[in-house]
Amino acid sequence: QKEVEQDPGPLSVPEGAIVSLNCTYSNSAFQYFMWYRQYSRKGPELLMYTYSSGNKEDGRFTAQVDKSSKYISLFIRDSQPSDSATYLCAMNPFGNEKLTFGTGTRLTIIP
């Protein structure tokens, strides 16, 4: 079993819809949680970062962490065609710098 599980999709939604992306994990030592966006033929870029449980909002993006359920989510409001990309969750334990990534969810926003 992988430490981090992420539905690979693909996920297609109409423009303007709310998108929900999720990851589950098994390692209770994970403390730092990130979401990366990766466009085709590009490297991943950091979207959101949260520490421990709770919510964090940044513009149209909201990240949620539920450590009791070992479940993290990324919500995208008012989705735009430019949001079409692969979204990767990533996490690591406190004091350990290596990131463990999910396999990514491929998202397409249909105009």
Partner 1 sequence: DSGVTQTPKHLITATGQRVTLRCSPRSGDLSVYWYQQSLDQGLQFLIQYYNGEERAKGNILERFSAQQFPDLHSELNLSSLELGDSALYFCASSVDGRPNTEAFFGQGTRLTVV
41 binds partner 1 (CB under 8 A): yes
Q: Is 22 exposed, middle or buried (0-12, 13-18, 19+ CB in 10 A)?
A: middle
How many Cα atoms are found within 13 Å in the side-chain-facing hemisphere of 49? 5
Among 65, 74, 92, 109, binds partner 1 (CB under 8 A): 92
Tell me the per-residue interface mask from 42 to 81 with partner 1, x by CB under 8 A, - otherwise.
xxxxx--x-x------------------------------
Site membership for partner 1, residue 104 (CB under 8 A): yes
